[in-house]
């Protein structure tokens, strides 16, 4: 007797919208640290030079654009996942097919959304 929208869909979408900026931040830091380790040990670049170059290349604007895109990506992923999840019928094969379909659709829509946001941010000068 519970409303599917209230119990299943809305909490998942809200959770993704809330957690995606944190995930984007953690992955940004992990990428910078991993890149730094590779550059320092593989190319014999000093840590000070790496930090200086990263400081020149990564601006606050580019950081905030990435953090602002993340909730929208989370919403897209959540909507696609919930939509395909609600299409599952009683078999395990259906679960596999809908999962595969949701992953492919989410990747496509996130890429498309990122392209539109890149054009938008470029048009407004960010």
Is pTM beyond 0.85? Reply is no
Other CB atoms within a 10 A radius of the CB of residue 16 amount to 21
pLDDT by residue for the chain (126 residues), tens only, comes to: 778 888 889 999 999 999 999 999 999 999 999 999 999 999 989 999 999 999 999 888 889 999 999 999 999 999 999 999 999 998 899 999 999 999 999 999 999 999 999 999 899 887
Q: What is the pLDDT of residue 1?
A: 76
Collect all residues with Cβ–Cβ distance below 8 Å to 50 and sequence separation of at least 6: 36, 39, 40
């Amino acid at each position: 007797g519970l409303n599917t929208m209230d119990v299943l869909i809305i909490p998942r979408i809200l959770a993704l919208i809330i957690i995606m900026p944190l995930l984007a931040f953690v992955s940004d830091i992990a990428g910078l640290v991993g890149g730094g380790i590779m550059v320092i040990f593989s190319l014999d670049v000093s840590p000070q030079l790496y930090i200086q170059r990263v400081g020149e290349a990564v601006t606050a604007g580019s950081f905030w654009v990435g953090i602002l895109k993340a909730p929208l990506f989370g919403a897209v992923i959540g909507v696609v996942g919930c939509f395909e999840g609600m299409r599952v019928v009683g078999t395990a094969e259906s679960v596999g097919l809908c999962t595969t379909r949701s992953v492919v659709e989410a990747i496509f829509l996130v890429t498309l959304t990122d392209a539109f946001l890149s054009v938008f941010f470029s048009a407004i000068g960010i």
